[in-house]
Structure 1
Amino acid sequence: MLQWVRSIIYIVQATIAMPVIGLVFAPWAMFSKTGAYTACKTYAAWCMWSARWLIGLRCEVRGDVPQGEVLIGAKHQSFLDIMMIFHALPRAKFIMKREILWTPVIGQYTKRMQMIAVDRGKRGKAISKMMEDVNAGRIEPGQIVIYPQGTRVAPGAHIPYKVGTAVLYGQLKQSCIPVATNAGYFWPRRGLYRRSGLAVVEFLPPIEPGLEKAAFMAELESRVETASNRLLAEAGWQADA
């Protein structure tokens, strides 16, 4: 019962903090991408710091965090892993659903940071447009983050990896950094309860450019799923019999 109360207090204060931080940084963010990134990194840092003290949830980033232009293929279980990845990377650019652009506060900041919004019903066209923007220099270089399964996936759930990651990998001709996590065990995709413990995001060794589409997808899925399952087991999660 106490953890339920702590979870609700945590969610309330994090919800309030978002517009407050957004408004405080708004004058800087309107004229500077750096201001927008600083605001969002501040919010992510606040959420992770307050999680430790309010719900007993610590956050840890493992592995070599990429600094240059790379493609990130990440496991997505929770809003928490978004914040951890964003806070760790210098200039993360998430491929996200277009509806987020219309979300108060978040939408305005994602536009300013040139996040890549896609229409789920027209993903192929959206990826082509994104590549055009990258090649034309309309999108500032950074670390492009894509979720190969296309959505949040609860621990133990099995959703196929989508081919869009392989398309980007082939077109960008950059290394792809697989990323594993166990965040969904502590911060589920639905519900208010937050567990205490150690949430981990782990940057794995890069997949170098040049693999064929099928080989790349198999390698990415194997690395991400194996490492994520290891992290979940480390956290104490057990698959249903």
Structure 2
Amino acid sequence: MLQYIRSVVFIVQMYVAMPVFGLVFAPWALSSRRGAFAACKSYSRYVFWTARWMVGLRCEVRGTVPQGEALIAAKHQSFLDIMMIFTALPAAKFIMKKEILMTPIIGQYARKLGCVPVDRGKRGAAIERMVADVNAGRAEPGQLIIYSQGTRVAPGAKLPYKIGTAVLYEQLDQPCVPVATNVGVLWPKRGLLRKPGVAVVEFLPAIPPGLDREAFMTQLETAVELSSDSLMAEAGFDYDEQRPGD
């Protein structure tokens, strides 16, 4: 019960702090991409700091973080992995639902960061438009993050990897860095309880450009799923307990 109360207090203060950071940084952030990065990374670090002492949740980044242009294909389990991946990378930008760009403050920041809106009903067209922008030099350089399963996936759940990642991999001709995580074990996609422990995002060895679509997708999914399973077991997740009827 005490951990639950701590979790609720942590969540409330975290969301109260979000518009405060957004407004304080707004003059710099809305006139400069550098300011937008500073604002978002400052807020994320604040969340990491409060999570550590309020609910006992520590954040850890493992592996070699890419510094140049790359496609980042990540496992997505909760809001926490978004902040951890973004803060670790020098110039991250996300492929995101276009509805997010309509939200106050957050939408303006996303535009400044160079995030790419995707219409879920027209994803192929959106990816083609984004690739065209990158190839024409109109998009800001950096690390483009895509969640290959398209949404948050709870620990133990299985969801297919979508072909959009392979399309980007083929057309961008950049290395693809898979990213595994266990954050959903400690910070679930639903519910208020935040568990103590070590939340990890791990940057795995890059997949060089040039593989055919099927080989790329197989290598990506195998790397991310096996590494995520290992990290989740490290955090105390037990697959046997999640099986129906057990």
TM value normalised by structure 1: 0.99
Structure 2 unaligned blocks of 5 or more = none
2:223 counterpart residue number? 223
SS at match of 1:31: coil
Structure 1 residue 227: Cα displacement? 0.1
The match for 2:21 is 21
Q: Quick one: which amino acid aligns to residue 169 of structure 2?
A: Y
1:167 aligns with 2:167: yes
Hey, what's the Cα distance between the residues in 2 that align with 1:46 and 1:100?
22
Helix, strand or coil at the partner of 1:150: coil
**Distance in 2 separating the partners of 1:116 and 1:72:** 14
How many Å separate the matches in 2 of 1:212 and 1:30? 40
1:105 is the counterpart of 2:77: no
Residue-by-residue CA offset, 1:115-139 (whole Å, 9 max, x unaligned): 0110000000000000111112221
Matched, 1:191 2:184: no
- The secondary structure found in structure 1 opposite 2:192 is coil
Report matched runs for 1:205-220 at 5 Å. Answer: 205-220=205-220
| Structure 1 residue 108 displacement after superposition | 1.2
Structure 2: how far apart are the matches of 1:18 and 1:166?
34
Pairing 1:37–2:10 present: no
Residue 61 of structure 2 corresponds to 61
Corresponding residue for residue 133 of structure 2: 133
1:72 aligns with 2:72: yes
Tell me the distance in 2 between the aligned counterparts of 1:109 and 1:119.
Answer: 19
Determine the structure 2 residue equivalent to 1:179: 179
What amino acid maps onto 1:128 in structure 2? Answer: E
Partner of 2:120: 120
Whole-angstrom CA distance in 1 between matches of 2:30 and 2:106: 13
> What is the alpha-carbon distance in structure 2 between the residues aligned to residue 225 and residue 103 of structure 1?
32
Mapped partners of 1:13, 1:104: distance in 2 = 19
- Separation in structure 2 between the aligned mates of residue 14 and residue 103 of structure 1, nearest angstrom: 18
Q: Which amino acid aligns with 2:124?
A: G
1:94-132 CA deviation, whole Å, 9 max, x = no partner? Answer: 111111111222111001111011000000000000011
Residue 78 of structure 1 deviates from its aligned partner by 0.5
Deviation at 1:155, TM superposition (A): 0.2
CA RMSD of aligned residues (A): 0.6
Secondary structure at 2:30 match in 1: helix
Q: Which runs of 4+ in 1 moved over 4 A?
A: none
Residues 22-47 of structure 1: CA distance to partner in whole angstroms, max 9, x if unpaired?
01100001210000110000011000
Question: Matches of 2:190 and 2:139 in 1, distance apart?
Answer: 33
Name the structure 2 match of 1:201.
201
- What secondary structure sits across from 1:177 in the alignment? strand
Matched residues in 2 for 1:133 and 1:174: separation?
15
Equivalent position of 2:4 in the other structure: 4
* Percent of pairs with identical residues: 66
What is the rounded CA distance, in whole Å, between the counterparts of 1:191 and 1:107 in structure 2? 25
SS in 1 for 2:93: strand
Tell me the distance in 2 between the aligned counterparts of 1:75 and 1:176.
13
Amino acid at match of 2:5: V
Q: Using the alignment, how far apart are the partners of 1:138 and 1:8 within structure 2?
A: 43
In the alignment, the residues of structure 2 paired with residue 72 and residue 46 of structure 1 have an alpha-carbon distance, to the nearest angstrom, of 24
Aligned residues: 241
